[in-house]
Structure 1
Amino acid sequence: MLENSVRHKKVCSGVDMRGDRSPHLPDHEIGGTWLVNTYPGVACDVPAHIYTFPFEPNPDWSAFYAGGKEIHDYFMRAVKNHRLDRDVKTSHKVVHAQFDEHEGIWKLKIEYNSCVFDDGCNVLISVTGFLSHWKWPEIPGLHDFKDYSDKRIAMIGNGSSAIQIMPELAKDAKHVVNFIRNPTWITPGLGNSVINGKVNRAYSNDEKRAFRENPRKLNKHRKEIQHGSNKAFAMAAVQATSQMMLDRLGGDADLAARLTPDWEVGCRCATPGPGYLEAFTQPNVSLVTGHISHIDATGIVTKDGTHHAFDVIVCATGFDVSHRPPFPIVGLEGIDLAEYWREEPLAYLSLACPHMPNFFLFSGPNAPVGHGSLMAFVSPDPAVIEEFNTHGDEIMERLVWSGGYRSWYKNNRVDGRVTAIWQGSAMGFREIVEALRPEDFSIMYRSKNRFRWMGNGRTKIEGTPGADLALYLKK
């Protein structure tokens, strides 16, 4: 009998789905990166009005760039409004996943309350993200340091997190010293032409009221920001960005020379960084460039042998962005995804990978940062993966992200493939993934005859007493 509606069980981590679903979250509540990241100044460098669900616009954002707590509160409201938590299992950590080729299902081991139990699913979706697993710097003696408060503070790093933390530390610290190996670009924000080029600004009560009362006005504002954001794919010129950084440093040419890169804008993750450059104009903030030799019980020793005494060390050194899963995922022929991705993470449109049937990714490798009943399983063809990545690499060679600089786009390497960024614009990615390309996938069936799904040629509804057998006639 032909089923009118076939429902497979899906297991995913960090997202709810319609149908038979079972989202597992390792944390004690929903929130993801905005739950676990609570450092001073935590915020999003994407404008708040386009960092929203399309079905849940928010007229009440406090500022152009919103803080982490406000973002978390927004997501929790969306969860409540749409009952997205009704099937979510919190404090459930997937610790192992293996595909059973005979049964065509994923067999899972899940940890809950210090106990491990078995589960299974037809489709496994990984939504683990890559901004939740902190990455400690490889500095000898790091954990020998003694932590005290309200004294001299060392901040290691100048990535997105460090840029957000600095202004907050500078408010109350006796002195803050930022240790950086290389400078980074501080750029105009995405779509910030909407706020006349300002670094950030608050929305007034009148503006928020107008957005609430006039959804068209809110949508127009959001479209203006999104339009400017998509235009940012063509990055700003080096000269203009350098001048903007000099202006924000109060015209201090010496400081600007130490903080301004000599490589392309966008080669490394660029951020608007409200308050970061301005902090260096304060008397209690200074900069040290170069490499750190080691850390001892009282401070930091740089390569030139200088000892810098501190009471607090802040490691703003980013996250593990290797895309390797935090638990074993074993696919066809016993291939472990973490091992398979040890050198280079390869995926199909950042959504699927070879040897992992019925396994899909959200924001996988090369994502735009940062979407049948009797069929046994579906997996992208390895040859398709190779061709896709070869063509993508050719495009990437012409883009600034492949420049000769160490960045998390290349898994913190100077050379090598760019694995964290889509090979084009966000609009290009959207258009490409809108239409399914079934010819790119290998489909395996449980039966030798692929048309066994037809059953006895009748539908299930025909055997249901009182069912509408003319449901296809529209009113």
Structure 2
Amino acid sequence: MDEANLDTGVPRNWIPAPNEPLFAPKRIRMICVGAGFSGLMLAYKHKYEFALRDAVDLVIYEKNHDVGGTWLENRYPGVACDIPAHIYTFPFEPNPDWSSFYADGAEIWEYIKRTSVKYGLEERVQLESKIVESVWDESVARWKVKIERGGEAFTDEAEILINGSGILNKWRWPDIKGLHDFRGKIAHSASWDTSLDWTRKRVALIGNGSSAIQILPQIQRTAKSVVNYIRSPTWVAANFAANFTPEGKNFRYSEEQKRAFREHPEELLKLRRDIEHGINQLFLSLIKGTERQLEANNMSKRIMEERLNHDPELCAKLIPTFEFGCRRISPGEGYLEALQESKVSCCFDPNERVTENGIQTVGGQFVEHDIIICATGFDVSFSPFWKLTGRNGTNLAELWERKPNAYFGICAPEQPNYFIFNGPNCPIAHGSLLAAMDSTADWILRWCQKIVSEGIKSVCVKQDALDEYNVYTQEALKRTVWTGGCRSWFKAGKKDGPVTAMYAGSIIHYKEILDSFRVEDFDIEYDSAIRFRFMGNGTTQREVQMEDLAYYVK
């Protein structure tokens, strides 16, 4: 008994006995930012799988004019997914009608749109609604969110805030002096002008990452000339799951094959499982010093040499000396071949500045261009594109300015009831990303169920748990190639330093650890003065609804 209440005999945390059954849910509001794969996956699970859907009012704010996220925004020539289409799907909606083994961006977006319509997922989405600020209000345990739509601003509130806007959503121009003095056309791969015509034009392509690798084979066909400005070599790998394709290359499915997938879903399921199994073995090839890693390194080097026709100069400059997988693995069907076309040339001399009509390099080389295409990447700080202020006025962008860190890529420090899809140190680029997102959505909804059914006001990852998790993460990552001798966005664009992007384990490892649902790593605050108020009046929902009261007899 509380000593301060000895005279009355009433504990300081006394509450009246509740008059509802065990786990009686309260109503809350949940805001998700972004209607790409993650937001729509959450919408599906909320609508069709979440038992307490009526207690959780979900709204998804999407800044664009339609759903689809990155597959709506990215429209550059050659845009495609390097993961086989049959495993790049919503887990609840396999697609027997993919036109090819690796699908292009337009077809992926059409699939996303078709699925969202089929299942009524857009009923939760508000389009052309851009989040500009969110502030945690401790007094009411809610996020106060400012949204802009049609030039006007309004405010919404929610107990739970979810960031489903993705990692690569804040594109940026390269830091090259005089870039915007150029009088020709300037384009960025992530903000593509679909009216751009490069026919018989002199084109500069800056970068040799995954976007540039897809762009070059397309534009070189009709351009007058193309100079690919390359800062450093990268592994241009064989296609993922190439053993499922003829000659290791993309191919189109016949109408007979698609009909067989429709009429025999068990065959499609077997194919999807076989491909997924193969893709998920990739992680084992990314552990330093293993036979698998050495084999992958040697095989990739051999493939690049063959595709470069053993040209000694090109091989010396284009094939990395760092470990295979240290940077993002980029399958690039047609890229190395395009580099050897007569109208295409490579420039490895760093750019010094852009003039009104061309690019001058540090070594003094100057080339005139009509078009400059920047395939130069994104801001990979992991901070949301809006201002987010959590507990005690903590600004997440400032907190993550030096090094972003999160709990399993989902929970950020000092941000109660805030969850992220694909945050810092999440499992990307070495397996099925959608499988990881599926587990993340399930994990978030498990928290939602606990919050609404156990009278919880807020949950926030404990600082010591976060610190210890990240100590483990950085130590475990040392055995992987991601800590190798390359400059990579996995390390925030640095050659040395902590790996901020990658999870220290496989997709399977990630799924199993999330299944364990470690609530002990969180500070939990309750609506009531006592944490057990949710136990109610001694009855259960089963009794109130007159369900089977002998369910446990077997």
Question: If the TM-score is normalised by the length of the shorter chain, which range does it land in?
Answer: over 0.9
Could you tell me which residue of structure 2 aligns to residue 387 of structure 1?
468
Give the match's secondary structure for 1:406. Answer: coil
Could you tell me which residue of structure 2 aligns to residue 12 of structure 1?
32
Residue 178 (structure 2) pairs with residue 141 (structure 1): yes
Q: Note the alpha carbon deviations across 1:6-37, whole angstroms, 9 max, x for none.
A: 34211001214323101111111101001111
Structure with the larger RCO, 1 or 2 (CA within 8 Å, 6+ apart): 2
Give the match's secondary structure for 1:267. Answer: coil
The amino acid of 1:443's aligned partner reads I
More helix by share: 2
In the alignment, the residues of structure 2 paired with residue 346 and residue 318 of structure 1 have an alpha-carbon distance, to the nearest angstrom, of 21
Give the match's secondary structure for 2:124. Answer: coil
8 Å contact kept, 2:24–2:534: no
Q: Note the alpha carbon deviations across 1:328-364, whole angstroms, 9 max, x for none.
A: 1111110011111111111001111221111000011
The amino acid of 2:467's aligned partner reads E
Structure 2, unaligned stretches of length 5 or more? 1-18, 47-52, 186-197, 286-294, 434-439, 441-450
Runs of 4+ in 1 over 4 A off after TM superposition: 455-462, 471-475
Equivalenced residues, count: 471
Q: Note the alpha carbon deviations across 1:46-98, whole angstroms, 9 max, x for none.
A: 11111111110011112221110000001011101111001210011111111
Give the match's secondary structure for 1:171. Answer: coil
Could you tell me which residue of structure 1 aligns to residue 14 of structure 2?
none
- Summarize the alignment of residues 45-194 of structure 1 with structure 2, pairs less than 5 Å apart: 45-147=82-184, 149-150=198-199, 151-194=201-244
8 Å contact kept, 1:95–1:328: yes
8 Å contact kept, 1:298–1:311: yes
Give the match's secondary structure for 2:125. Answer: coil
Give the match's secondary structure for 2:321. Answer: coil
Deviation at 1:197, TM superposition (A): 5.5
- Summarize the alignment of residues 277-426 of structure 1 with structure 2, pairs less than 5 Å apart: 277-369=336-428, 370=433, 371=440, 372-373=451-452, 374-426=455-507
8 Å contact kept, 1:37–1:132: no
Could you tell me which residue of structure 1 aligns to residue 519 of structure 2?
438
Could you tell me which residue of structure 1 aligns to residue 310 of structure 2?
251
Query: Percent of counterpart pairs with the same letter?
Result: 43
Judged with a 3 Å threshold, the aligned counterparts in structure 2 of structure 1 residues 126 and 51 are, in CA distance, closer, same or farther, namely same
The amino acid of 1:166's aligned partner reads L
In the alignment, the residues of structure 2 paired with residue 375 and residue 155 of structure 1 have an alpha-carbon distance, to the nearest angstrom, of 53
Give the match's secondary structure for 1:450. Answer: coil
Root mean square deviation, CA, Å? 1.8
Give the match's secondary structure for 2:126. Answer: coil
Deviation at 1:202, TM superposition (A): 2.1
Q: Note the alpha carbon deviations across 1:229-267, whole angstroms, 9 max, x for none.
A: 111113353221111012222333322222101110000
Give the match's secondary structure for 2:153. Answer: strand
Give the match's secondary structure for 2:330. Answer: coil
8 Å contact kept, 2:542–2:548: no
Judged with a 3 Å threshold, the aligned counterparts in structure 2 of structure 1 residues 142 and 225 are, in CA distance, closer, same or farther, namely same
Deviation at 1:193, TM superposition (A): 1.6
Judged with a 3 Å threshold, the aligned counterparts in structure 2 of structure 1 residues 266 and 460 are, in CA distance, closer, same or farther, namely closer
8 Å contact kept, 2:203–2:226: yes
Q: Which one is further off, 224-233 or 369-378?
A: 369-378
In the alignment, the residues of structure 2 paired with residue 42 and residue 460 of structure 1 have an alpha-carbon distance, to the nearest angstrom, of 51
Could you tell me which residue of structure 1 aligns to residue 251 of structure 2?
201
Give the match's secondary structure for 1:237. Answer: helix
The amino acid of 1:219's aligned partner reads L
Give the match's secondary structure for 2:419. Answer: strand
8 Å contact kept, 2:131–2:147: yes
TM-score under structure 1 normalisation?
0.95
In the alignment, the residues of structure 1 paired with residue 266 and residue 399 of structure 2 have an alpha-carbon distance, to the nearest angstrom, of 48
In the alignment, the residues of structure 2 paired with residue 42 and residue 379 of structure 1 have an alpha-carbon distance, to the nearest angstrom, of 39
Give the match's secondary structure for 1:154. Answer: strand
In the alignment, the residues of structure 1 paired with residue 271 and residue 479 of structure 2 have an alpha-carbon distance, to the nearest angstrom, of 32
Judged with a 3 Å threshold, the aligned counterparts in structure 2 of structure 1 residues 394 and 197 are, in CA distance, closer, same or farther, namely farther
Deviation at 1:473, TM superposition (A): 5.4
